[in-house]
């Protein structure tokens, strides 16, 4: 069979948030389009400069790159890893390799779009082009729209439309393995650098996340044994309920199409746990389409009237924020959650809602402060999902909880960690308290708390609730 006259001679795949070989849209498109395909990842100085020198995400990425490089070498290719600025390194590498096109998967974060536009312009000077593809979500951008042609602002109608549209085509995998003969090696692929090579140091990455796509596969196998109970177990932080795949979705060490396909098939067979988990994957798509259509929401309130809220500021507010960050608010579930985040880079989803509600509606602090702290600490940090979650908690986002819905941290503790198992793990000062006392230790066991080192509550929830209702009155007045 004669090769297509339109076939490229050489192409470069620029891996970003898609650190896997399997079912990778850009890799597949490059392999189908070019006779020789090179692969690269850029350790972007623009991104790395904003991170602390010990960052779990950098450690996770380097581990994922090791697996990706090994997988590519088994198939006849290799991974080139560069450390620099995208606008410099990608056009330079394209010129060194003599490629006609750089293939990458979409990244719809505002800064990423500006970066890609700049790289695309610079590639033109080397007679190359940037081609990008959907890979990070099932549906993106304008693929799920209202009957009037606009984006959805409420989740349930979006979810219903998503489910009506999804089928085998959208959930099918890209058969990368059929075309790997086009993968090419190069002397430029000298291996994956160490943390020290790029100016970082170990951050204590927890082992449960695994390494790259292999870790994702192990977690998925484990989760599939208990997915049927997901709807019942997911809200209890002391129970092994979640999939723990969020970091792998974030960095693309697992295909979202594969996960959604499994969940959809199980749901059709009557598995309610899989149905609820699929809904969580749809939430992820939802927040990404919000980011695409409403980029202003990445820095301000999705609903502009909420920007009129006057949050607490000054030294007292800063002290409250520090107590929240460090897990010493005097509310055990909140403190245990924040300590889990600080120690592991992970926080249970139910607790993300509890801690966010506490910051905004008990402490009266701007949701953006919490969003930024989560962005710094979360191993699975994703701008669209993190922003969406924080705006949901503060009631300023699309389809958010009503402003008058304020989580009671004690009630949440009693309901979702009744025996105090999770609290005891991260707040050892409270380990000897009986279950009935552990949720409000100073109120229910004051003598035992003397000298414990555990702080008294920094705010009275009942008083804070009234202040929040008054604070949000400006929103209500503008809506009427």
The catalytic residue positions are 280, 283, 311, 349, 367, 390
Q: What are phi and psi of 63, to 5 degrees?
A: -65, -40
- What's the length of the chain? 480
Task: Compute how many other C-beta atoms are within 10 angstroms of the C-beta atom of residue 49.
Answer: 9
**20, 130, 426, 448 from 47: Cα distances, Å:** 21, 21, 31, 47
Measured between alpha carbons, how far is 427 from 339 in angstroms, rounded to an integer?
8
Structure tokens at 210: 């695994």
CA angle at 76 for the pair 71 and 81, rounded to the nearest 5°: 60
Say if CB 171 and CB 281 are below 8 A apart: no
**45, 233, 286 from 274: Cα distances, Å:** 39, 12, 18
289: closest CA among 134, 400, 394?
134
Contacts 24+ apart (CB under 8 A), 45-53: 45/83, 45/84, 45/85, 46/85, 46/86, 46/115, 48/198, 48/199, 48/200, 52/376, 53/199, 53/200, 53/201
């Amino acid at each position: 069979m004669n090769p297509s006259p339109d076939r490229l001679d050489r192409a470069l795949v620029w891996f970003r948030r898609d650190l896997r070989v399997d079912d990778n849209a850009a890799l597949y498109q490059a392999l189908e389009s070019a006779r020789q395909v090179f692969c690269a990842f850029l350790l972007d100085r623009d991104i790395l400069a904003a991170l602390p020198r010990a960052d779990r995400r950098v450690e996770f990425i380097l581990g994922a790159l090791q697996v990706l490089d090994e997988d590519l070498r088994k198939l006849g290719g290799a991974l080139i890893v560069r450390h620099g600025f995208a606008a410099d390194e990608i056009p330079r590498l394209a010129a060194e390799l003599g490629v006609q096109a750089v293939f990458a998967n979409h990244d719809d974060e505002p800064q990423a779009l500006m970066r890609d536009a700049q790289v695309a312009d610079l590639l033109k000077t080397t007679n190359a082009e940037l081609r990008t593809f959907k890979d990070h979500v099932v549906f993106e951008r304008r693929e799920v729209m209202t009957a009037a042609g606009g984006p959805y602002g409420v989740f349930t109608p979006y979810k219903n439309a998503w489910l009506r549209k999804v089928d085998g085509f959208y959930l099918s995998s890209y058969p990368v393995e059929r075309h790997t003969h086009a993968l090419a090696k190069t002397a430029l692929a000298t291996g994956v650098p160490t943390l020290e090579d790029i100016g970082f140091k170990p951050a204590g990455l927890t082992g449960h996340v695994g390494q790259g796509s292999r870790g994702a596969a192990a977690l998925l196998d484990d989760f599939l044994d208990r997915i049927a109970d997901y709807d019942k177990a997911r809200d209890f932080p002391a129970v092994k309920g979640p999939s723990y795949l969020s970091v792998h979705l974030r960095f693309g060490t697992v295909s979202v199409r594969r996960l959604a396909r499994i969940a959809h098939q199980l749901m059709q067979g009557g598995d309610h746990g899989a149905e609820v988990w699929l809904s969580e994957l749809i939430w992820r798509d939802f927040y990404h389409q919000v980011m695409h259509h409403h980029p202003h929401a990445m820095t301000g309130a999705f609903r502009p009237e909420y920007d009129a809220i006057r949050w607490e500021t000054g030294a007292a507010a800063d002290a409250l924020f520090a107590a929240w960050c460090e897990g010493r608010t005097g509310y055990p579930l909140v403190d245990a959650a924040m300590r889990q985040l600080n120690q592991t880079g992970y926080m249970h989803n139910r607790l993300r809602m509890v801690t966010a509600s506490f910051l905004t509606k008990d402490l009266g602090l701007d949701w953006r402060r919490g969003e930024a702290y989560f962005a710094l600490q979360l191993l699975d940090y994703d701008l669209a999902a993190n922003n969406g979650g924080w705006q949901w908690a503060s009631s300023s986002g699309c389809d958010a909880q009503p402003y008058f819905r304020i989580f009671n941290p004690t009630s949440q503790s009693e309901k979702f960690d009744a025996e105090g198992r999770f609290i005891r793990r991260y707040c050892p000062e409270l380990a000897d308290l009986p279950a009935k006392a552990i949720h409000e230790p100073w109120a229910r066991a004051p003598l035992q708390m003397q000298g414990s080192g555990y702080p008294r509550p920094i705010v009275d929830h009942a008083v804070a609730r009234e202040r929040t209702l008054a604070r949000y009155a400006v929103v209500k007045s503008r809506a009427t």
